[in-house]
Amino acid sequence: MSEPVQEAFTEALRAEINAVVARYHALAVAREEALRAEIEKLKAEVVALGQELERARAREGELLARAQSAAAASQALEEQFAAEQRFAAACRGLEGSLLGEALKGAVGREIDATPATYAALKGRGLEAVLIAAFRERGRSVAQAPLLERERSSLGALAAAAEGELITPLSGTKFSVSTMDKASTVVEPAEEGNVVECLMPGLRRSGTEGALLFPWVVVATG
């Protein structure tokens, strides 16, 4: 091959190589730019996700604070009406009984496990409700003795109202200063003594004085 031809071939080959290199360089640059754009897009998404995460954390903190506040309020409400809840629980099973009706009348509504009932009990005062109900039930106890479900609820009702029952034992000497005579029965051997306590009285826990005297049956000669 002559020298001019060889030079021409070399130049053509160099040009072709340069073109190939330029083409791959252009492809590499384009690829690099695409990757850079993809990276920038991903960075933007990461930033957006970070911001969303921060908002979610802030929202979580807000909701947690609200939940804690609601729990504290619920606990405070629970503590505030604890006695009323125990009182309402002690009233379960008294539906349709004379004592149940007396309690309902004293409160002015059905005694159920609802905030409205607790508020009504709190407003009237458990002690006042119990005194009114005991007094009302005591008026009829000689003609309509306490049912077992009524009698079994008295202790819990008294305890919820921070009170104690007064229940004279059979054989106790009757006294008008501490008891109410509901009825009498002829039993000469026990004359002047209590034969039966039909309806317990009531006093504040830890005290001696009576808020309400018990209704008793007294023996006569």
Per-residue pLDDT, 50: 85
pLDDT tens for the chain, 221 residues long, are: 567 777 777 787 787 888 878 888 888 888 888 888 888 888 888 888 888 888 888 888 888 878 776 666 666 666 789 999 999 999 999 999 999 999 999 999 999 999 999 999 999 999 999 999 999 999 999 999 999 999 999 999 999 999 999 999 999 999 999 999 999 999 998 999 999 999 999 999 989 889 999 999 999 98
Task: Write the single-letter amino acid at 188.
Answer: P
**What is the β-pairing status of strands 180-186 and 215-220?**
parallel
Listed in sequence order, the residues at least 6 apart from 118 whose beta carbon sits closer than 8 Å to its beta carbon are 81, 84, 85, 88
Nearest-Å Rg of the Cα atoms of the chain is 45
CATH architecture observed for domain 82-220: Roll (2.30)
Per-residue pLDDT, 178: 93
Per-residue pLDDT, 66: 80
Helices marked H in 3-160 — which ranges? 3-80, 82-90, 98-107, 115-124, 126-140, 148-160
Structural contact between residues 184 and 148, judged by C-beta atoms closer than 8 angstroms: no
Per-residue pLDDT, 72: 65
Per-residue pLDDT, 76: 65
Task: Report the alpha-carbon distance of residue 190 to residue 118 in Å, rounded.
Answer: 45
Structural contact between residues 218 and 194, judged by C-beta atoms closer than 8 angstroms: yes
Nearest to 212 by CA among 172, 182, 183: 182
